[in-house]
Amino acid sequence: MPEGPPPPPTVQKLRLRYAKRGRLRFASHRDLARALERALRRAQVPMAFSAGFTPHPKISYLGAAPTGAASEAEYAEIGLAERRDPEQVRAALDAALPEDVVVLECVEAGEGTGSLADRIDTSVWRIELPGLPLADLQSALDAFLARDEVTVARRTKTGLKDVDARAAVFGASAVEEAGCAILNAVVRQVTPAVRPDDVLAALAAVADLRPPLPARAVRAAQGRLDDDGTVADPLGPDRAARTRCQGEHATV
d(CA 227, CA 232): 10
d(CA 58, CA 77): 8
Per-residue pLDDT of the chain (252 residues; tens, 9 = 90+): 556 677 889 999 999 999 999 999 999 999 999 999 999 999 999 999 988 788 889 999 988 999 999 999 999 999 999 999 999 999 999 999 999 999 999 999 987 778 899 999 999 999 999 999 999 999 999 999 999 999 999 877 778 889 999 999 999 999 999 999 999 999 999 988 999 999 999 999 999 999 999 999 999 999 999 988 899 999 988 887 665 444 444 332
d(CA 32, CA 42): 15
DSSP state of 99: T
Domains defined along the chain, listed by start: 12-115 (3.30.70.580), 121-232 (3.30.70)
